[in-house]
Copies of this chain bind each other. A is one copy, B any other.
């Protein structure tokens, strides 16, 4: 039996009852003979409450102090969790990110882990303790200041520690049973995925699936750490994310892993851009300089009569204003006609490594949308993903018909096999 890293999110430790329930689950793993390292987030709404407090004190809180403030949240949850475990008769010690050797760069509020030196954690578990580590936080390599890792930071802490400790698995406990073939709130017949490859999981994460963040999966893939996403409530087997199916996970990889959707993006269209070299570059340089991440980019062929083309791209709705302002400044130099902004859109993505070798997937996808009267506004593809943009109103219906069309509904028998030509 090797070492296991378990991560529990804020909803799993929202109150004393939750902390005691999680403590029992941790002790079970220890009793099963594992060395156990636990990464824990702040309790429930603690972080939001601290953010509110900061807002009351200062309109623009300093990054360094903001991180000092937020890290109080995990300090509370980890100490309570260690107490609850000791109360069950097992030894536990809690460690801050700094004590656990989570070394980051100095970018406050969204630091990146640059090294993990888990000497104290290793000693603690070797002495027989269960080590509890504060998620989401580290210490900067140069100034020794406290940093936080930004959204999804606790998952990344867990994977990074698992890598540094050469763990067997990184278990991410959450409030759902695993990764599903679609959002179960939208598709009642969504099926829990037993195993999914890092690649497919990365595509799902960047297409709107919220169970695991892209950053955490990327880290796990780089160090080849299997992730097991499972419920802290049910204790059932969840979803394994790894390079290859492991142990009894001998099921054939499905053609399609899942259908993801995302309603957090908006679409910007730059109308009437002169179709000559360098024009698009000027537009996207302006967007990049404003530190806006864009997602899909589509350029139509230009109308031969005008020599003008339209360029559309999607971006987070929250960056909409900033993007329009940045583009307006380039209007004179680029010479485009007008800007259109549309935040009533949704992105629907079909993800699966199987589509590389199975032609006809695109056709089936589009036919399903057409049969449901869903209009496609933009299309973008990668090797293992097809994404379309539709009206936001159509998103639920679209996800459902696509889920059914690819045989993903939980009462259907098997994944569909495709023939024919073209993708």
Given A62-B86, A99-B144, A144-B99: A68 touches B79 (CB 8 Å cut-off): yes
Residues of chain B within 8 A (CB-CB) of A307 are: none
Q: Are B72 and A86 in contact (CB under 8 A)?
A: no
Query: Does A335 touch B at the CB level, under 8 Å?
Result: no
Residue interface mask A245-275, B partner, CB < 8 A = 1: 0000000000000000000000000000000
Residues of chain B within 8 A (CB-CB) of A94 are: 64-65, 68
Query: Does A71 touch B at the CB level, under 8 Å?
Result: yes
Residues of chain B within 8 A (CB-CB) of A61 are: 83
Q: Are A53 and B65 in contact (CB under 8 A)?
A: no
CB within 8 Å of B: which of A80-119? 80, 82-84, 86-87, 92-94, 99
Residue interface mask A15-58, B partner, CB < 8 A = 1: 01001100000000000000000000000000000100110111
Q: Are A87 and B75 in contact (CB under 8 A)?
A: no
Query: Does A78 touch B at the CB level, under 8 Å?
Result: yes
Query: Does A176 touch B at the CB level, under 8 Å?
Result: no
Interface residues in A, total, Cβ within 8 A:
37
Query: Does A69 touch B at the CB level, under 8 Å?
Result: yes
Query: Does A66 touch B at the CB level, under 8 Å?
Result: yes
Q: Are A53 and B68 in contact (CB under 8 A)?
A: no
Distance to closest chain B CB from A87 (angstroms) = 4
Residues of chain B within 8 A (CB-CB) of A50 are: 76
Q: Are A78 and B82 in contact (CB under 8 A)?
A: no
Distance to closest chain B CB from A402 (angstroms) = 46
A78 CB contact (under 8 Å) in B53, B59, B68: B68
Smallest CB-CB separation from A92: which chain B residue? B65
Residues of chain B within 8 A (CB-CB) of A87 are: 57-60
The distance in angstroms between the C-alpha atoms of A69 and B144, with both chains bound, is 22
Q: Which residues of A contact B (CB under 8 A)?
A: 16, 19-20, 50, 53-54, 56-62, 64-66, 68-69, 71-73, 75-76, 78-80, 82-84, 86-87, 92-94, 99, 120, 144
